[in-house]
């Protein structure tokens, strides 16, 4: 694609990165077939190619307006288009640059500004999110159904096996995640139990903060960089003390931490450490599979539909890692049509774009139910809560199925 970015933009590092990405797109349109918003809305401007044009125009004219803002907001950041693109266009990076630019240039209606500000102020802080969530759960019966649906159900108390790492020969950090530890804290207990049973000692970090993913999605790069810098300091210290991997049981967090090297490339004091942290980061399924150990055979006779989160299949390209582990455990994996399409959760998206998000959830649940599963498994807390709210079939993190 020919480009001529505005002189004020082309001189910047982000401008040069954007130009290189824009030039790699050949307008072929293959990506339209796998874009959930294009499939749903049928508008070229809600497709990857349309959004690339909008970003190009914005960076050429050094101006942005509500039209560009609306169509970039509607993007799920699912990155299905990246998986499909034959030219290797780094759409996710371009979108990040585009969103940051739009945040600077286009103001939002007051209500939207307040909602976004509240999300940034609450969600990344478990100490704030936890108490507010408890209050919301008490008030849930009094809320209109559309709002009540957005409040995750209280976690039922479950018996989680306790691990024994007396014979541990390996040591990892397990990232707790902000939303996961508050809403489904048992997921990390299950992960610990399995890793311990496989001879891996798990250490938690008292001073872990949000991975920065939410702020990035909302176009607040500098807030994200503050979180990331803190995590790089504590995680790199853990690596220096001998942990072999940083394991994430939420694919939405893992995909961000794996990108820390790039995200802190401008920070000479941390760049190398950020790259080391990214290199050591593994999704839980990726790590367990690489151990090549015997997983407990606990799933005979149970049918499972796996919902592959976008951050798992497109962001981290982890393919069928979970299916393989669950099959080793004896579960019967049922096929899921259109498994490449997003469920509509997409971080803050389900709150900011509820109509599109709910429509995508209905489609995803219909696909997941097609093989009549006993349980739906996923690998990301956002997808789990989003699907749970509309599903009669139980939705669980896959690790629960290996340790129950």
Candidates 15, 36, 126, 254; binder of ligand SF4 (CB under 6 A) is 36
Decide if residue 25 touches ligand SF4 (CB under 6 A).
Answer: yes
Q: Which is nearer to ligand SF4, 79 or 397 (CB)?
A: 79
Q: Which stretch binds ligand SF4 (CB under 6 A): 72-80, 148-156, 173-181, 392-400?
A: 72-80
Q: DSSP letter at 151?
A: S
Please report how close the Cβ of residue 295 comes to ligand SF4 at its closest, in angstroms.
Answer: 32
How many whole angstroms separate alpha carbon 216 and alpha carbon 364?
25
Decide if residue 78 touches ligand SF4 (CB under 6 A).
Answer: yes
Decide if residue 325 touches ligand SF4 (CB under 6 A).
Answer: no
Candidates 28, 118, 240, 290; binder of ligand SF4 (CB under 6 A) is 28
Instruction: Transcribe 237-287 into DSSP letters.
Output: HHHHTT--EEEESSHHHHHHHTTHHHHTTT-TTTHHHHHHHHHHEEEHHHH
- Dihedral, 279, 281, 287, 291 alpha carbons, nearest 10: 50
Decide if residue 172 touches ligand SF4 (CB under 6 A).
Answer: no
Task: Return the axis-axis angle of helices 110-122 and 126-139, rounded to nearest 10°.
Answer: 120
Q: Which is nearer to ligand SF4, 236 or 364 (CB)?
A: 364
Decide if residue 81 touches ligand SF4 (CB under 6 A).
Answer: yes
Please report how close the Cβ of residue 261 comes to ligand SF4 at its closest, in angstroms.
Answer: 22
Decide if residue 261 touches ligand SF4 (CB under 6 A).
Answer: no
The continuous run of DSSP H or E covering 96 comes out as: helix 91-105
What is the pattern of x (binds ligand SF4, CB under 6 A) and - over residues 40-59? --------xx-x--------
Nearest to 183 by CA among 399, 391, 384: 384
Please report how close the Cβ of residue 10 comes to ligand SF4 at its closest, in angstroms.
Answer: 21
In our burial notation (b when 16+ CB lie closer than 10 A, e otherwise), range 92-129 reads bbbbbbbbbbbbeebeeeeeeeeebeebbebbbebeeb
Please report how close the Cβ of residue 29 comes to ligand SF4 at its closest, in angstroms.
Answer: 5
Candidates 91, 227, 306, 349; binder of ligand SF4 (CB under 6 A) is 91
Nearest to 177 by CA among 131, 75, 246, 239: 246
99: Cβ–Cβ under 8 A, 6 or more apart, which residues? 72, 217, 218, 219
Q: Which is nearer to ligand SF4, 88 or 319 (CB)?
A: 88
Total number of residues that touch ligand SF4 (CB under 6 A): 24
Site residues for ligand SF4 per CB under 6 A? 25-31, 35-37, 48-49, 51, 75-81, 85, 87, 89, 91
């Amino acid at each position: 694609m020919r480009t001529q970015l505005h002189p004020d933009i082309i001189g910047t590092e982000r401008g040069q990165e954007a130009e290189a990405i824009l030039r790699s797109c050949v307008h072929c349109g293959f990506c339209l077939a796998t874009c959930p918003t294009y499939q749903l809305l049928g508008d070229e401007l809600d497709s990857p190619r349309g959004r690339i044009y909008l970003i190009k125009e914005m960076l050429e004219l050094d101006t942005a307006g509500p039209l560009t803002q609306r169509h970039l907001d509607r993007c799920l950041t699912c990155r299905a288009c990246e998986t499909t693109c034959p030219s290797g266009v780094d759409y996710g990076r371009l979108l990040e640059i585009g969103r940051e630019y739009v945040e600077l240039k286009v103001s939002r209606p007051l209500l939207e500004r307040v909602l976004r500000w509240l999300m940034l102020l609450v969600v990344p802080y478990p100490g704030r999110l936890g108490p507010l969530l408890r209050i919301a759960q008490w008030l849930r019966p009094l809320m209109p159904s559309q709002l009540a649906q957005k409040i995750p159900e209280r976690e039922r108390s479950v018996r989680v096996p306790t691990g024994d790492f007396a014979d541990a020969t390996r040591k990892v950090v397990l990232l707790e995640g902000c939303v996961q530890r508050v809403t489904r804290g048992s997921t990390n207990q299950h992960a610990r139990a399995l890793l311990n049973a496989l001879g891996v000692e798990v250490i938690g970090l008292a001073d872990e903060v949000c991975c920065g993913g939410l702020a990035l999605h909302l176009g607040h790069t500098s807030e994200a960089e503050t979180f990331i810098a803190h995590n790089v300091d504590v995680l790199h210290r853990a690596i220096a003390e001998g942990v072999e991997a940083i394991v994430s049981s939420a694919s939405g967090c893992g995909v961000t931490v794996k990108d820390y090297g790039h995200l802190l490339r401008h920070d000479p004091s941390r760049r190398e450490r950020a790259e080391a942290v990214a290199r050591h980061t593994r999704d839980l399924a990726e790590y367990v599979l690489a151990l090549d150990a015997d997983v407990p055979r606990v799933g005979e006779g149970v049918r499972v539909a796996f919902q592959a989160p976008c951050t798992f299949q497109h962001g981290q390209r982890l393919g069928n890692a979970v299916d393989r582990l669950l099959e080793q455990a004896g579960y019967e994996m049922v096929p899921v049509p259109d498994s490449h399409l997003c469920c509509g959760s997409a971080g803050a998206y389900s709150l900011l774009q509820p109509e599109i998000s709910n429509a995508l959830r209905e489609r995803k649940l219909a696909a997941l139910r097609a093989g009549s599963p006993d349980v739906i498994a996923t690998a990301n807390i956002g997808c789990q809560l989003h699907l749970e709210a509309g599903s009669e079939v139980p939705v669980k993190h896959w690790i629960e199925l290996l340790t129950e």
